[in-house]
Structure 1
Amino acid sequence: MKRRNWMKDLEEWKKKKDEIEKMGPESSCPTCGRILGEKYEEIVENFSKKIGDGRKKIKEMEKEMEELKEGLKSIEGKMEELEKEKEEIEKEMKELVKAEKELNHYVESKKEKEMVEEEKRKEMEKLGEVKFDEVRYEEVKRKSMELEKIQEEIFVLKSEIQKIPQLDEVIEEMHSDIKFISMQLEEVHKKMDALDFSKEKYKEVEREYEEGRKELQEKREDRIKIQGEISQIEREIERLSKEIEEQKKQREKIKELRKEIQILEILAGERDTGLLNDFKRYLISRIGPLLSSYASTFFSIFTGGKYNDIEIDENYEIFIYDNGERFSITRFSGGEEDLANLSLRLAISQLIAQRAGNIFQFIALDEIFGSQDIERRRNVLRALGELSNQFSQIVLITHIEDIKDSLQHIINVFEDEHGISHVAIE
């Protein structure tokens, strides 16, 4: 009856589970009528759990019955062994009884022989000295040893006989165990019959349960996948929000920069107009003539008096006067152009030192002889020598070897075979 009720419930659960899975989470509960919604998976899981518990229970009963059968087989095997042992002991007891009878016979016979021998000994004493029969003596000795051996075997058999009550108790316990296991096995059979167990229905339910479990697992995996996609979309939305916010900040910066550009455009004006251009022209008007004067002095020394005047215009372009006529620096050779630029560098250095309120005592010139011929090199060196009155220290950096003799001190920098630089002073 219980089995029928259980199977009825099981079928009902399976039916309800199938109905709910077909209808989906948006359907109404067949019992209370409410929308399943979030309870959908919980209800399906509950039905699956009940079906799984029933399946587990049947497997446990089958396992229990198999264990009882194995235990019964083991006890039956032990019973057979004990029965064989009992038969062997009974056989030994029969032999023991037979041996004991033989022993008693030999003992009686020995006593009689001893009595006869005693009588004969007494008679022999009366008769006097007699001849010793060694053959007869050995025969009697042999039989005595045989009797002692039989007596030892009787002692061993008696010890085994004492074990018989214990074996009977063990056999009795085995019978009790067999009876108890038989009752349990019979009870299991009754339960199985009451459950109306059918392997075909069980396999069908098991198959349906496995299909439902796989379907539920797939739905769970789909849900996890969808949740992952939602999380990814949320992260993308967050990233885009940050980018939008950053773009807003950049637009604000651009507005500020445009305002600054407008102010700078007002200051700069067109190419030839604006506050900056006006200020530059103002500076040139103030320092241009002085720079031109200083540069002209240096340029005249460097060229040996060939060119005496240099003019610096408002764009800092250099113009050289040749025989009173004004020419752009591009008209002259590369060496003369380098000398003009060197003159302007020295003029700017001298002007800065004067405006700073300090006497400019040091100047460094890098590779100023590269484009000059021998005569111009001598002129530059001679002019720098005259400038030593104004500059206490003049440093020339050059790769030209033939000017060494004209210098006061020489510092050589060279590299060894390991790539390490060294300094040597001459």
Structure 2
Amino acid sequence: ELKSLQKRIEELENKKKELKDIEIRIKQKEEKIREYSILSEAFTSIPVSIQNRLKPRIALETSYLVDEMTEGKYSEIELDDDYGILVGYDNELYPVSRFSGGERDLINLSLRIAISRVLVSLSSEHGFSHVQSLFLDEVFSSLDSERRQSLLKALYKLQNHFKQILIITHVEDIKTSVPYAINIEELDGYSVVKSV
């Protein structure tokens, strides 16, 4: 009977681990859905004529960023009519879903950065000041440790495009991987800022 109970405990531990893995995958999928809905909302509010003029610029900027961050592994990005991402590899275009999770995260982040850079360049063309900062909020939360480090390495390659890159995260190991970090904690109803 003891062996039976031990086996049952082991089975329950395995089920618990499987459940945790499923929860992580669900969280990652929810993050992707949130990203797509943000992009969809942004583009549905822009008239079609402007979208058609912006799409090639966004694709070109995304291609440039992906090429730089993957060290030439992927150098061509195209956007289909619905702004779905197509990635050039071995002289063929493939949907972004074909690639690994880390590569998809990198390409999606590049697209978001490209969109902001194109919009900023349009603003500066029309007399508005040029934004030279990049703000990233919780881009690491759905990634495992290896993907976080890969993405961080890719972000370092963007330093020549932005005077400062600000990352907001709750992921502890990122704080030790950047040149400067601050920690904001609540203490007695006040926010306390500490250098890490």
Range class of TM-score, shorter chain: 0.5 to 0.7
In structure 2, C-alpha distance between the alignment counterparts of 1:370 and 1:303, rounded to whole Å: 21
In structure 2, C-alpha distance between the alignment counterparts of 1:305 and 1:374, rounded to whole Å: 23
* Matching residue within 278, 289, 294 for 2:56: 289
Deviation of residue 420 (structure 1)? 5.1
Cα root mean square deviation, aligned: 2.5
Give the equivalent residue in structure 1 for 2:157.
386
Give the equivalent residue in structure 2 for 1:414.
185
For the 8 Å contact 1:299–1:308, the answer to whether it is kept is yes
Deviation of residue 389 (structure 1)? 2.3
Give the equivalent residue in structure 2 for 1:423.
193
3-state secondary structure, aligned to 2:176: helix
- Where do 1:24-63 residues align within 5 Å? none
Deviation of residue 334 (structure 1)? 3.0
For the 8 Å contact 2:68–2:157, the answer to whether it is kept is no
For the 8 Å contact 1:311–1:320, the answer to whether it is kept is yes
* Matching residue within 318, 324, 341 for 2:108: 341
3-state secondary structure, aligned to 1:406: coil
- Where do 1:112-127 residues align within 5 Å? none
In structure 1, C-alpha distance between the alignment counterparts of 2:70 and 2:147, rounded to whole Å: 7
3-state secondary structure, aligned to 1:391: coil
- Where do 1:293-332 residues align within 5 Å? 293-332=60-99
Distance 1:300 1:371, change over 3 A: farther
Gap runs ≥5 in structure 1: 1-275
* Matching residue within 126, 130, 133 for 1:359: 130
1:240-261 Cα offsets, whole Å, 9 max, x none, are xxxxxxxxxxxxxxxxxxxxxx
In structure 2, C-alpha distance between the alignment counterparts of 1:300 and 1:370, rounded to whole Å: 24
Deviation of residue 424 (structure 1)? 1.2
For the 8 Å contact 2:74–2:88, the answer to whether it is kept is yes
Deviation of residue 355 (structure 1)? 1.0
In structure 2, C-alpha distance between the alignment counterparts of 1:283 and 1:421, rounded to whole Å: 42
Give the equivalent residue in structure 1 for 2:34.
none
Deviation of residue 376 (structure 1)? 4.1
3-state secondary structure, aligned to 1:295: helix
For the 8 Å contact 1:411–1:424, the answer to whether it is kept is yes
1:17-66 Cα offsets, whole Å, 9 max, x none, are xxxxxxxxxxxxxxxxxxxxxxxxxxxxxxxxxxxxxxxxxxxxxxxxxx
- Where do 1:214-293 residues align within 5 Å? 280=48, 282-293=49-60
Q: Report percent identity of matched pairs.
A: 41
Deviation of residue 398 (structure 1)? 1.4
3-state secondary structure, aligned to 2:72: coil
For the 8 Å contact 2:183–2:195, the answer to whether it is kept is yes
* More relative contact order, 1 or 2 (CA 8 Å, 6+ apart): 2
3-state secondary structure, aligned to 1:354: helix
1:295-314 Cα offsets, whole Å, 9 max, x none, are 11222333343322211123
1:48-105 Cα offsets, whole Å, 9 max, x none, are xxxxxxxxxxxxxxxxxxxxxxxxxxxxxxxxxxxxxxxxxxxxxxxxxxxxxxxxxx
3-state secondary structure, aligned to 2:193: strand
Q: What's the TM-score, normalizing by structure 1? A: 0.31
Distance 1:371 1:299, change over 3 A: farther
Report the number of matched residues. 147
Q: Which has the larger radius of gyration?
A: 1
More strand by share: 2
In structure 1, C-alpha distance between the alignment counterparts of 2:145 and 2:138, rounded to whole Å: 15
Gap runs ≥5 in structure 2: 1-43
Distance 1:327 1:369, change over 3 A: same
1:377-414 Cα offsets, whole Å, 9 max, x none, are 34433333332222112110112222333312211022
In structure 2, C-alpha distance between the alignment counterparts of 1:286 and 1:338, rounded to whole Å: 26
Give the equivalent residue in structure 2 for 1:396.
167
3-state secondary structure, aligned to 2:141: coil
For the 8 Å contact 1:367–1:399, the answer to whether it is kept is yes
